[in-house]
Structure 1
């Protein structure tokens, strides 16, 4: 399960992430080498093909996570499928390109520009004269006005999820003719391009009843290349068909079926031929890639990973095993021969089944990119040790973001660059690496910050604290509900952990384990380096160590000091240990988060901070812990956005007391904010000078880094299994899909152009 924020412009960012897709649009020129925005780390991988090479007709069966509860993206229970439907059936005045920048959509707009700033900002939209709703009525000012009134926040009868931007509009008027719409703002609004995408008809927006209920189960009036034909909750699918009144380039596909298939069951659906396109996890991606990859290669192009094994010989059996099996099956011992014959038959069937599975998957390929979303480490500054900025900064300085990015993205063959901004992704206008305001990872500096805050190694603990901690750890281990940072989920395994014997404890009384990285033995070799000990290869590790003078299970001779990077003595202050509660989801799709958390826990141990990892159900993770502030450390994701002044402000706004005495945090779940950051956001939102707005946002990002409430780690991987002859669809990356261009290649047409790297 992903724990991320809402991606579409229409919704408040929350934990239900909605994918903002992209088509293979050329990267905009102008990202010069001295531009801090740079270029996207990975481009779309959609098998881009010219429309002339795509066949007319066909049905695209596309895996979805759910049948949406509403088709109105401006309601709080909208989800990823809501957005996917809206992109295909409703007007988008601006779409995002491959760099995450908004570009005018010519199917709806002839032009859109600021035509006045004094005394007030005025934007003039000139509509495509062919643009009509599916009932034949022209798209016009009445639709704009209805959407503004519904989303302005002035009428509480509308159950809206947000009103950002719409609350700045003063009036909407018809221009010189029906094709012109003039929007006048009360206050300057830099992100005006974010508005009216998607645009709903006045039939949906015109009254509270229509807004609240009219578009939840159906959309009778649309204006996109496709129209909603069916929303079937019994069959778990949404069906889109061609819109006969569409005036743009005709859709290549006849139908798009959004089929609900849980992520854990998508490999089976692909194998059974029930899907053509599906977002998948890394394990599934490897299986799909292996089906068509040459033997002994890694289909994902991973760096620094061992090559995959070659063709199976009897499910991993060697030639000697196969010969021995044949001999037993044909030997004189009838009982043994009978049992071996049955076993050989079972193995043949298993191999045949595996080959059929591979054969079925050879028609698919893995398309990969980076999602327009990033994973962050959240530090709850509301109370406890992390309320002290020095402790937050120490935690942040102890975390090696490069190591975490490499651990997650490197095995997938994706660019493993840590993210340098809270407000934008590499390649977007507002992007600049602001991490210098915090500083590079530095264990010494982190320890100094903690010492300044009064946390000292081996400080006296309150009576009974140690015993209670041991009992709690034991109970968590027994129940499986809680773990430590050095648990088996933590990456590194035996070869990356320093283990001491029973009588080898560090000064703090804890096992010196869990550095998460390679450590040296006393002889200067790494733990996995056998050196002259090759003759001991078959011995258990503990026996080899014991023979070298170490305690069973130790990597180094007894008495060797813990290497640099090993756990430091636990810190304490005023009789209480420095232990942070690290809350994580427990679902099967959260393995990566738990792996990252294990590495972070090991990094924090190096500066004397212990982490108490608590796994909770996916259902309660965000609602009962992140949103309510019941955590110290947590991992979740936010989407990138083309409009950070609007979308990112509630995430980093300083919490303020509400009328009922509670704290209004908006979406700032770390509870860390400053007046200066708020002012910089307001200034960026109110200027129409794009260069000035970028500078203000980058300055705000530096202040966010310095406050150390959250630590951006890496852009999330995006892996998609696509039928090999499917063009213009796959791992979309930043931008909005062009649904009318998706389709299957004509017979004899070469495969579409694929690239997961941005053009220069």
Structure 2
């Protein structure tokens, strides 16, 4: 995955409480009724096949961005490769299905349920008797207790990145036997299914030294279909082997090797047969697909590659920094949002890939998840007339007088760490049409601490997973066809566009975008957004900055007006999304504690709805509270969800049960290579 997605569970939660307008009660009331469950916009594409059709043996070579800095998923520098290893070698009590909903993992749990709510919430886990660690010890209550103590936040000797949920546990006890685990909560916790996934052995969690250092480079004790064999930092490889003590369906593969392959080397690695599966960019996907088509009939299936495609469980958004300048006025933020055609932007990215171009309607869930509902109506759709009206209401005057800065024969100073800024709207009288579009830092010590942590999981195009932009790139570098009109094209009918101004200053916003080759699609989308804003009279200065500084030095520090980055979806939005939208709290030194709220826009009402959703044990009530919170987030216009990110996986043609997983947690034991002559079930891109 790419670095423009910020990892939801990567940052330690802290208490945080800005102001925005309240939302009409009538809008909220529309979210409260139950409706049919939504479906994922695009189905997963994993070449499904029954285990009987999959060969026994073989080693799967899987491209990853890098060898993980740690194998402890609860440390700040854990990344996607950490999660990949943990998923294959450690227990998880719950995993996600194809619709992004948590389901009990039958390999580890006989049952798990809330057995009492009064006077306190009690959850009882009954573990499978066959479930054992690789050293032969049964998985039991002592492992649960050790993990709770390590992640509770009560012992600062444990260097944890997050403790959400574990800090609400009062005690963990053995039940009738060691396979029955009784967890009592001091405060009710709706998202209890998020806990103990993954579960580490007490050998790791039992002491600060074991937690902090013991699981960074090795996992001596595991419990999954695979076991960790070795990590070769020099070769950039992690080798997993079939676990002989695994009690579930035996792994079809004899082993897996996670191979660190840079983004710009993936297509070559696939072509050379050095990897069997790799997350690739659209341009690379086109080359691989074309090569695969030309090889049809001339090469065996086990030598060909195909591109499997779906939508990643993450969405790209336009972020509006509400802590400074014109965007500190909610009316201006709402005007920016109303000026943008989200359907057009989704089509710009997804249509060339043959994926459904459906704008995302929620900040807190994606279509297919229980909490999903399209609440964008709380803000309103694309309407340039309304956008202009909102700017006028905020005191901005269309075509108002502007006191231009004295040039004094010198250029404006370039922003630090940036390439030269380019004006999307250099004057009130543009000479070139723009194509087919429809007519001081606030970070304190606490924020910088979190910014440093997210920098390990956030990367070049703003995503939060290190290393790459998987699927938002257009097929051609330099922009999509139709993004710009040819030089000399006549200006739109109606004459020059009048720029809004106030107090002698033009309404101008600084749009920060990453400059690297892997972030081309974000720049294409950014250019189109700038064009849309120009058409309503908002000037936009685009500043391109180095990929490695984009998130940490600009987004997290608040050095931007507009930016594009992505958030992954969570099955537990009441817990995981709260820090993203919590109202920032002024600190004694004048800084803001923002947690992960990089737009710095929040309301008391949103905080209250999250707090209520986190403690209700009625799933329907929790869902409705999350939807109400989302409607208020839309109304505050701090961030505008645009489109779900593409997920493109180049895989060997005979690889089954692997590819573009969408929401689903991979089932590693079912992956493997098809027997000679066997064919997978039909899938969207086969």
- Confirm or deny a common fold (TM above 0.5): yes
Q: Aligned-pair distance for 1:482?
A: 1.9
State which of 419, 426, 437 in structure 2 corresponds to 1:517: 437
Matches within 5 A, 1:647-726: 647-726=576-655
State which of 500, 518, 538 in structure 2 corresponds to 1:589: 518
Q: Aligned-pair distance for 1:715?
A: 0.3
Higher relative contact order, chain-length normalized (CA < 8 Å, sep 6+) = 2
| 8 Å CA contact 2:530, 2:540 repeated in 1 | yes
Q: Aligned-pair distance for 1:410?
A: 0.4
Corresponding residue of 1:88: 88
Corresponding residue of 2:214: 214
| 8 Å CA contact 1:42, 1:756 repeated in 2 | no
> For 1:734 and 1:12, how far apart are their aligned partners in 2?
24
Q: Aligned-pair distance for 1:468?
A: 7.4
Q: Aligned-pair distance for 1:572?
A: 1.3
* 1:352-389 Cα shifts (integer Å, max 9, x gaps): xxx99x99997000100000000000000001100000
| 8 Å CA contact 1:142, 1:202 repeated in 2 | yes
Q: For residues 34 and 361 of structure 1, do their structure 2 counterparts lie closer, same or farther at Cα, with a shift above 3 Å needed?
A: farther
Q: Aligned-pair distance for 1:563?
A: 2.3
Corresponding residue of 2:333: 392
Matches within 5 A, 1:322-401: 363-401=304-342
| 8 Å CA contact 2:430, 2:497 repeated in 1 | no
> For 2:257 and 2:409, how far apart are their aligned partners in 1?
53
> For 2:632 and 2:337, how far apart are their aligned partners in 1?
14
> For 1:229 and 1:91, how far apart are their aligned partners in 2?
17
> For 1:671 and 1:726, how far apart are their aligned partners in 2?
45
| Residue 606 in structure 1 maps to residue 535 in structure 2 | yes
| 8 Å CA contact 2:288, 2:305 repeated in 1 | yes
Corresponding residue of 1:75: 75
Corresponding residue of 2:156: 156
| Residue 563 in structure 1 maps to residue 493 in structure 2 | yes
Q: For residues 461 and 470 of structure 1, do their structure 2 counterparts lie closer, same or farther at Cα, with a shift above 3 Å needed?
A: farther
> For 1:63 and 1:389, how far apart are their aligned partners in 2?
44
Q: Aligned-pair distance for 1:714?
A: 0.4
Q: For residues 211 and 702 of structure 1, do their structure 2 counterparts lie closer, same or farther at Cα, with a shift above 3 Å needed?
A: same
Q: Aligned-pair distance for 1:429?
A: 0.3
Residue 4 of structure 2 aligns to a residue whose secondary structure is coil
Residue 293 of structure 1 aligns to a residue whose secondary structure is helix
* 1:498-538 Cα shifts (integer Å, max 9, x gaps): xxxxxxxx8x344353254389xxxxxxxxxxxxxxxxxxx
Residue 230 of structure 2 aligns to a residue whose secondary structure is strand
Q: For residues 140 and 362 of structure 1, do their structure 2 counterparts lie closer, same or farther at Cα, with a shift above 3 Å needed?
A: closer
Corresponding residue of 2:555: 626
Q: For residues 85 and 12 of structure 1, do their structure 2 counterparts lie closer, same or farther at Cα, with a shift above 3 Å needed?
A: farther
| Residue 429 in structure 1 maps to residue 370 in structure 2 | yes
Corresponding residue of 1:167: 167
> For 2:334 and 2:408, how far apart are their aligned partners in 1?
29
Corresponding residue of 1:116: 116
> For 1:427 and 1:362, how far apart are their aligned partners in 2?
35
State which of 381, 389, 407 in structure 1 corresponds to 2:348: 407
Corresponding residue of 1:184: 184
Q: For residues 178 and 223 of structure 1, do their structure 2 counterparts lie closer, same or farther at Cα, with a shift above 3 Å needed?
A: same
| 8 Å CA contact 2:429, 2:496 repeated in 1 | no
Q: For residues 737 and 10 of structure 1, do their structure 2 counterparts lie closer, same or farther at Cα, with a shift above 3 Å needed?
A: farther
> For 1:388 and 1:380, how far apart are their aligned partners in 2?
10
Q: Aligned-pair distance for 1:59?
A: 0.4
Matches within 5 A, 1:207-356: 207-293=207-293
582-591 vs 121-130, which moves further: 582-591
Matches within 5 A, 1:533-548: none
TM-score if structure 2 supplies the norm length?
Answer: 0.86
Residue 38 of structure 1 aligns to a residue whose secondary structure is coil
Q: For residues 745 and 382 of structure 1, do their structure 2 counterparts lie closer, same or farther at Cα, with a shift above 3 Å needed?
A: same
Matches within 5 A, 1:194-209: 194-209=194-209
| 8 Å CA contact 1:141, 1:172 repeated in 2 | yes
Q: For residues 567 and 93 of structure 1, do their structure 2 counterparts lie closer, same or farther at Cα, with a shift above 3 Å needed?
A: farther
Structure 1 unaligned segments of length 5 or more: list them: 15-32, 300-354, 488-505, 520-551
* 1:445-469 Cα shifts (integer Å, max 9, x gaps): 100111111111232223535x479
Residue 74 of structure 2 aligns to a residue whose secondary structure is coil
TM-score if structure 1 supplies the norm length?
Answer: 0.78
Q: Aligned-pair distance for 1:209?
A: 1.0
> For 2:633 and 2:408, how far apart are their aligned partners in 1?
37
> For 1:675 and 1:195, how far apart are their aligned partners in 2?
27
Corresponding residue of 2:462: none
* 1:234-279 Cα shifts (integer Å, max 9, x gaps): 0001111111111111000011000011111111111111110000
> For 1:468 and 1:197, how far apart are their aligned partners in 2?
61
Matches within 5 A, 1:417-496: 417-464=358-405, 467=407, 471-472=411-412, 481-485=420-424
Structure 2 unaligned segments of length 5 or more: list them: 15-32, 440-485
Q: Aligned-pair distance for 1:721?
A: 0.4
Q: Aligned-pair distance for 1:179?
A: 1.1
Q: For residues 468 and 694 of structure 1, do their structure 2 counterparts lie closer, same or farther at Cα, with a shift above 3 Å needed?
A: farther
> For 1:394 and 1:576, how far apart are their aligned partners in 2?
18
Corresponding residue of 2:22: none
Q: For residues 597 and 203 of structure 1, do their structure 2 counterparts lie closer, same or farther at Cα, with a shift above 3 Å needed?
A: same
> For 1:637 and 1:214, how far apart are their aligned partners in 2?
32
> For 1:470 and 1:433, how far apart are their aligned partners in 2?
49
Residue 731 of structure 1 aligns to a residue whose secondary structure is coil
| 8 Å CA contact 1:13, 1:647 repeated in 2 | no
Q: For residues 9 and 633 of structure 1, do their structure 2 counterparts lie closer, same or farther at Cα, with a shift above 3 Å needed?
A: closer
> For 1:637 and 1:148, how far apart are their aligned partners in 2?
30
> For 1:456 and 1:226, how far apart are their aligned partners in 2?
65
Q: Aligned-pair distance for 1:592?
A: 0.5
Residue 267 of structure 2 aligns to a residue whose secondary structure is helix
> For 2:270 and 2:189, how far apart are their aligned partners in 1?
46
Residue 700 of structure 1 aligns to a residue whose secondary structure is helix
> For 2:7 and 2:97, how far apart are their aligned partners in 1?
15
> For 2:86 and 2:423, how far apart are their aligned partners in 1?
44
> For 2:73 and 2:679, how far apart are their aligned partners in 1?
38
| 8 Å CA contact 2:62, 2:258 repeated in 1 | yes
Q: Aligned-pair distance for 1:481?
A: 2.5
* 1:254-306 Cα shifts (integer Å, max 9, x gaps): 110000111111111111111100000101111111123379xxx9xxxxxxx
Residue 222 of structure 2 aligns to a residue whose secondary structure is coil
CA RMSD after TM alignment? 2.6
> For 1:599 and 1:5, how far apart are their aligned partners in 2?
21
| 8 Å CA contact 1:486, 1:513 repeated in 2 | no
| 8 Å CA contact 1:10, 1:197 repeated in 2 | no
| 8 Å CA contact 1:514, 1:567 repeated in 2 | no
